[in-house]
């Protein structure tokens, strides 16, 4: 497989030592390629992947992404790693003042320089902070979208949320925060759309919000409470249900095979597979506490790498009950499980490419950004797919992450 590592779907045009230290994606792609090309990767795959994730992989925080954005926008010439944080802070503070952007969308006594310093050091921030930075740093709609989807790993602009529609329009037209506030106030007293023809025109798919008149028309339709069955949130939930059903079919077949091998009469069907069974199979490597629950996430030394998320029965149930939103983590975990089982005997390289192709299609359909090699969890899944037994390696690494810590619950 080693001679095919040069074609792994990520940026690969330069040698690793020539990649600049602010080029997060290219650096991550180069290191990925180096790791899966190691002599020990095929024989000691779990150990190699675990070592890379825990000891070598660079965790790129929200603050790092924000610094890079300011660095590139400001055209700073000195090496990225040598620029003091004060430089980024001062640039951001000056920009907020020049654009008359408030320091927060909510009342706060904290001074702007302190808030900016905080953003520059955070692993992650709230969604509204990205929207505020969009105005304060004069970001384009595309820039804000990138921060939402790639950096926060959340859904893109929600066009069923009037505030987010207003923000998107203002970024697109480079309008200040004060204008966004004006539109938000107007929305409160706006009369909802009553003309079914106008509503049909807006939800028809060809409607483009490129003027204030069209923005107000769109907001009036939102005020009327219409719902588009093709919106991204609905799509994410539908994709989750589809993948979940597929996973249930695979697990039911696994249990059925066991029954037949033991000459027992029990019949397993997908509807018999509860969230508990899904957890048992997919989270097989995570130890259980005395109460029968997965050990707490904080006991894993990869907790930060995996954003405190596991595909537990509680998480599945909360998503099905609409208490948790469907996230890219959920979709990618299910797709990984499906591909790991259905293509278990396939060439690892083919399996890897099939997963990427399917995952990109699913993410795009759900208004989420494409696979991001800088994200440790996504890098982890991709490395597992290049091994002979992806699910077994996936489970072994989860198990190792708890053993290494030695934390008891």
- Degrees to nearest 5, angle at CA 176 with 172 and 182: 100
Question: Looking at residue 98, what is its pLDDT?
Answer: 97
314-327 b/e (C-beta count within 10 Å ≥ 16 → b): ebbeebeeeeeebb
193-228 b/e (C-beta count within 10 Å ≥ 16 → b): beeeebbeebbeeeeebeeeeebebbbbbbebeeee
- The model's confidence at residue 153, banded by pLDDT at 50, 70 and 90, is confident
Q: Measured between alpha carbons, how far is 324 from 390 in angstroms, rounded to an integer?
A: 27
Cα torsion 11, 14, 20, 21: sign: positive
346 in Cβ contact with 340 (< 8 Å): no
- The model's confidence at residue 407, banded by pLDDT at 50, 70 and 90, is very low
Question: Looking at residue 222, what is its pLDDT?
Answer: 86
User: Average per-residue pLDDT in the chain?
Assistant: 88
Distance of CA 279 to the CA centre of its chain: 21
- The model's confidence at residue 4, banded by pLDDT at 50, 70 and 90, is very low
244 in Cβ contact with 334 (< 8 Å): yes
| DSSP codes, 154-180 | -----TTSHHHHHHHHHHHHT--HHHH
- Mean pLDDT for the stretch of residues 277-299: 93
SS3 105: coil
Question: Looking at residue 12, what is its pLDDT?
Answer: 44
**Tens digit of pLDDT for each residue in 215-258?**
998 898 888 876 555 555 678 899 999 999 999 999 999 999 88
User: Which residues, 6 or more positions from 106, have their beta carbon under 8 angstroms from its beta carbon?
Assistant: none
- Mean pLDDT for the stretch of residues 263-277: 90
- Other Cβ atoms less than 10 A from the Cβ of 123: the count is 12
Beta bridge partners of 294: 288
Question: Looking at residue 392, what is its pLDDT?
Answer: 96
* Model confidence at 48: pLDDT above 60: yes
Nearest by Cα to 248 from 227, 276, 223, 226? 276
51-65, 180-194, 255-269: the lowest-pLDDT one:
255-269
Question: Looking at residue 335, what is its pLDDT?
Answer: 98
* Model confidence at 15: pLDDT above 70: no
Q: Measured between alpha carbons, how far is 238 from 242 in angstroms, rounded to an integer?
A: 6
Question: Looking at residue 150, what is its pLDDT?
Answer: 86
* Model confidence at 9: pLDDT above 80: no
- Other Cβ atoms less than 10 A from the Cβ of 268: the count is 19
- Mean pLDDT for the stretch of residues 297-326: 91
Q: Could you tell me the two tokens for 311?
A: 């595909």
132-136, 162-166, 256-260: the lowest-pLDDT one:
256-260
Q: Helices marked H in 192-303 — which ranges?
A: 196-202, 212-223, 232-261, 275-282
Question: Looking at residue 206, what is its pLDDT?
Answer: 60
The percent helix, strand, coil of the chain (3-state, each to 5) is 60, 0, 40
Question: Looking at residue 61, what is its pLDDT?
Answer: 92
Nearest by Cα to 212 from 177, 188, 183? 183
Burial of 271 (0-12, 13-18, 19+ CB in 10 A): exposed
Name residue, tokens 């005020």.
223
- Mean pLDDT for the stretch of residues 255-284: 89
138 in Cβ contact with 74 (< 8 Å): no
- The number of residues in the chain equals 409
Q: Measured between alpha carbons, how far is 391 from 181 in angstroms, rounded to an integer?
A: 49
Question: Looking at residue 11, what is its pLDDT?
Answer: 47
* Model confidence at 349: pLDDT above 70: yes
Q: Measured between alpha carbons, how far is 62 from 70 in angstroms, rounded to an integer?
A: 12
Question: Looking at residue 225, what is its pLDDT?
Answer: 76
Question: Looking at residue 13, what is its pLDDT?
Answer: 40
Question: Looking at residue 224, what is its pLDDT?
Answer: 83
């Amino acid at each position: 497989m080693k001679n095919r590592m040069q074609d792994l779907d990520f940026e690969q045009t330069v040698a690793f030592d020539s990649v600049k230290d602010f080029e997060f994606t290219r650096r991550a792609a180069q290191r990925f390629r180096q790791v899966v090309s190691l002599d020990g990767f095929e024989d000691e795959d779990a150990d190699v992947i675990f070592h890379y994730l825990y000891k070598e992989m660079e965790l790129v925080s929200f603050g790092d992404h924000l610094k890079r954005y300011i660095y590139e926008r400001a055209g700073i010439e000195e090496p990225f790693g040598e620029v003091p944080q004060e430089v980024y802070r001062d640039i951001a503070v000056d920009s907020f003042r020049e654009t008359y952007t408030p320091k927060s969308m909510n009342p706060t006594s904290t001074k702007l320089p302190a808030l900016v310093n905080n953003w520059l050091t955070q692993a992650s921030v709230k969604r509204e902070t990205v929207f505020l930075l969009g105005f304060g740093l004069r970001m384009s709609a595309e820039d804000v979208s990138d921060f939402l989807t790639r950096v926060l790993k959340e859904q893109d602009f929600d066009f069923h949320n009037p505030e987010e529609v207003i923000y998107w329009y203002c970024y697109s037209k480079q309008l200040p925060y004060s204008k966004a506030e004006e539109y938000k106030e107007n929305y409160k007293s706006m009369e909802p759309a009553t003309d079914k023809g106008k509503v049909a025109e807006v939800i028809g798919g060809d409607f483009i919000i490129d003027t204030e008149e069209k923005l107000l028309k769109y907001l009036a339709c939102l005020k009327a409470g219409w719902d588009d069955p093709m919106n991204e949130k609905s799509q994410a939930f539908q994709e989750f249900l589809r993948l979940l059903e597929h996973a249930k079919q695979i697990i039911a077949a696994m249990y059925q095979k066991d029954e037949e091998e033991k000459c027992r009469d029990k019949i397993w069907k997908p509807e018999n597979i509860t969230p508990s069974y899904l957890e048992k199979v997919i989270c097989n490597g995570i130890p259980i506490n005395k109460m029968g629950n997965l050990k707490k996430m904080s006991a894993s030394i990869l907790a930060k790498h995996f954003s405190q998320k596991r595909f537990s029965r509680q998480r599945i149930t909360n998503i099905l009950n609409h208490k948790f939103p469907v996230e890219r983590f959920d979709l990618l975990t299910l797709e990984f499980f499906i591909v790991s089982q259905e293509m278990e005997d396939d060439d690892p390289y083919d399996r890897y490419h099939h997963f990427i192709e399917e995952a990109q299609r699913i993410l795009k359909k759900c208004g989420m950004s494409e696979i991001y090699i800088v994200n440790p969890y996504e890098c982890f899944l991709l490395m597992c797919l290049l091994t002979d037994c992806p699910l077994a390696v996936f489970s072994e690494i989860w198990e190792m992450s708890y053993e290494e810590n030695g934390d008891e619950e």
